[in-house]
């Protein structure tokens, strides 16, 4: 069965091979494109969203809007909107191939259709501590049939819009997780933790809270309460019971030397039409990413902390996508 793309008026959008593009647009330009198509602005959705999964069904979306879009209070319009006229914005959108004669092109309509009515959505949020300060980046991806549309921003004013074939999506997801570790802010120690650590979830939470409050004297007792439960090694096949002093040191490092965090939510609908979500959590250190994966062992809530590379992110997200759409 082939998917038919429809615009806001219910007209069929001609499907064609996806020609990958990547363009940089201001918030005003993204809003202008949506306004010309009479749909909600993707940029507005990203800026307003809190990252909560409570409105999961709504965020998967349907094309068109039932209510008028929200507008700023009188006098609260951004300065950029005053500086850029509609003609200026249209010129930018024409150059991007999204607008022609003040009307969205077929490609522009397809981009907005995929954004507002995806069958699968991935929302990534990354907070990284760099030498120049903390940076928060959002990258939202929408998939329908062979199309993938991505919108990313680091400040809510400047956006990168891209569209590509679903076959190439994995490269875009890996790109979203890439960080040059040479630019990270300094840490007290560059000592690394093992490639794989399995430890009680409650212990991880408790030691993290103690480090945040600088109650380091509590760490030894906390680790002793869960003595023998933490395993570590170079791979899942070589895990061995870790000594308490090592466990204490690793838990302190997990909280004090981490330099970033990545949160990814995969959203889709099952065959019965029910919305579902899968979550991926990574933590960034000077030697790269570590994933945090909860699991159960002998009735205990555990977490597996495992070395990861940006190229591993598409695979993890694919597993979550299969879970929520099955």
Regarding whether 188 and 166 lie in a shared domain, the answer is no
Regarding whether 35 and 51 lie in a shared domain, the answer is yes
Among 39-53, 219-233, 279-293, 295-309, the least confident range: 39-53
**Under DSSP, is residue 280 helix (H, G, I), strand (E, B) or coil?**
strand
Structural domain total, the chain: 2
The C-alpha atoms of residue 137 and residue 45 are separated, in whole angstroms, by 15
- Look at residue 73 in the predicted model and tell me its pLDDT: 40
**CA–CA distances in Å: residue 236 to residues 52, 192, 199, 296:** 33, 18, 13, 15
Q: What is the mean pLDDT of the segment spanning 153-157?
A: 92
The C-alpha atoms of residue 268 and residue 26 are separated, in whole angstroms, by 29
Q: Which string of DSSP letters, residue by residue, matches 148-215?
A: EEEEEESSSSEEEEEEEEGGGHHHHHHHHT---GGGBPP-S--PPPPSEEEEEHHHHHHHHHHHHTT-
Any idea what DSSP says for residue 97? T
Identify which has the larger pLDDT, 51 or 231: 231
- Look at residue 183 in the predicted model and tell me its pLDDT: 92
Q: Encoding tokens for residue 7?
A: 């615009």
Contact indicator for 13, 6 with CB cutoff of 8 Å: yes
Regarding whether 161 and 29 lie in a shared domain, the answer is yes
Q: What is the mean pLDDT of the segment spanning 177-188?
A: 89
What tens digit of pLDDT does each residue of 210-237 get? 998 999 999 999 999 999 999 999 999 9
Regarding whether 216 and 151 lie in a shared domain, the answer is no
Among 55-69, 134-148, 163-177, 254-268, the least confident range: 55-69
Q: Is the pLDDT score of 256 beyond 90?
A: no
Confidence of residue 127 (pLDDT cuts 50, 70, 90): very high
Q: Which string of DSSP letters, residue by residue, matches 144-158?
A: ETTEEEEEEESSSSE
Give the distance, in angstroms, between the CA of residue 243 and the centroid of all CA atoms in the same chain.
36
Q: 311 is in which domain, residue-wise?
A: 183-325
- Look at residue 6 in the predicted model and tell me its pLDDT: 61
- Look at residue 51 in the predicted model and tell me its pLDDT: 52
Regarding whether 101 and 38 lie in a shared domain, the answer is yes
Among 65-79, 92-106, 263-277, the least confident range: 65-79
Phi, psi of 113 (to 5 degrees): -65, -50
Of 130, 147, 178, the last residue of a domain is: 178
Regarding whether 164 and 148 lie in a shared domain, the answer is yes
Cβ atoms < 10 Å from Cβ of 306: 19
Q: What is the mean pLDDT of the segment spanning 33-49?
A: 90
Contact indicator for 162, 213 with CB cutoff of 8 Å: no
Q: What is the mean pLDDT of the segment spanning 85-101?
A: 93
Angle formed at CA 15 by CA 14 and CA 19, multiple of 5 degrees: 120
Regarding whether 158 and 55 lie in a shared domain, the answer is yes
159: exposed, middle or buried (C-beta count within 10 Å: 0-12, 13-18, 19+)?
buried
Confidence of residue 274 (pLDDT cuts 50, 70, 90): confident
Q: What is the mean pLDDT of the segment spanning 126-147?
A: 93
Q: Which residues contact 266 (CB under 8 A, 6 or more apart)?
A: 120, 121, 122, 277, 278, 279, 280, 317, 320, 321, 324
Cβ atoms < 10 Å from Cβ of 2: 6
Q: Is the pLDDT score of 65 beyond 70?
A: no
Cβ atoms < 10 Å from Cβ of 114: 24
Phi-psi category of residue 10: left, alpha or beta, with phi > 0 → left and psi -120 to 50 → alpha: left
Q: What is the mean pLDDT of the segment spanning 12-30?
A: 83
Of 120, 151, 178, the last residue of a domain is: 178
**In 258-316, beta strands by DSSP E:** 260-269, 275-285, 288-297, 300-308
- Find, among 271, 264, 277, the residue nearest to 57 by Cα: 277
Give the distance, in angstroms, between the CA of residue 266 and the centroid of all CA atoms in the same chain.
9
Regarding whether 246 and 160 lie in a shared domain, the answer is no
Residue with tokens 């909280």: 255
- Look at residue 49 in the predicted model and tell me its pLDDT: 65
Question: Is-above-0.85 flag for pTM?
Answer: no
Q: Encoding tokens for residue 252?
A: 């302190």
Q: Is the pLDDT score of 70 beyond 50?
A: no
Regarding whether 133 and 250 lie in a shared domain, the answer is no
Regarding whether 272 and 289 lie in a shared domain, the answer is yes
Of 124, 151, 178, the last residue of a domain is: 178
**CA–CA distances in Å: residue 154 to residues 46, 47, 62, 142, 189:** 11, 10, 26, 18, 28
The C-alpha atoms of residue 207 and residue 54 are separated, in whole angstroms, by 29
Residue 123: enclosing H or E segment and its boundaries? strand 120-130
């Amino acid at each position: 069965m082939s998917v038919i793309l429809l615009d806001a008026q219910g007209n069929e959008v001609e499907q064609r091979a996806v020609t990958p593009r990547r363009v940089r647009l201001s918030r005003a330009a993204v809003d202008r494109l949506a306004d010309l198509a009479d749909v909600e602005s993707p940029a507005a959705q990203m800026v307003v969203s809190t990252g909560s999964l409570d409105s999961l069904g709504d965020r998967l979306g349907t094309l068109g809007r039932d209510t008028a879009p929200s507008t700023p209070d009188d006098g609260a319009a951004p300065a950029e909107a005053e500086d850029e006229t509609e003609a200026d914005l249209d010129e930018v959108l024409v150059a991007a191939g999204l607008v022609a004669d003040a009307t969205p092109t077929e490609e522009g309509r397809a981009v907005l259709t995929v954004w507002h009515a995806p069958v699968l959505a991935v929302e990534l949020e990354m907070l990284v501590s760099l030498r120049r300060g903390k940076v928060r980046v959002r990258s939202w991806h929408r998939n329908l049939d062979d199309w993938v549309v991505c919108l990313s921003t680091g400040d809510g004013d400047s956006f990168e819009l891209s569209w590509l074939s679903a076959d190439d999506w994995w490269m875009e997801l890996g790109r979203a997780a890439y960080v040059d570790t040479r630019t990270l802010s300094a840490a007290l120690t560059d000592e690394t933790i093992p490639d794989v650590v399995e430890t009680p979830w409650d212990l991880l939470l408790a030691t993290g809270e103690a480090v945040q409050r600088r109650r380091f004297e509590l760490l030894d007792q906390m680790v002793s309460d869960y003595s023998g439960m933490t395993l570590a090694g170079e791979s899942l096949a070589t895990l061995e019971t870790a000594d308490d002093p090592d466990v204490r040191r690793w838990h302190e490092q997990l909280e004090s030397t981490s330099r970033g965090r990545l949160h990814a939510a995969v959203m889709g609908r099952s065959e019965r039409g029910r919305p579902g979500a899968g979550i991926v959590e990574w933590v960034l250190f000077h030697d790269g990413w570590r994933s945090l994966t909860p699991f159960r062992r002998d009735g205990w809530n555990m977490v597996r902390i495992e070395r990861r590379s940006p190229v591993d992110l598409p695979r993890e997200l694919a597993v979550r996508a299969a879970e929520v759409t099955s």
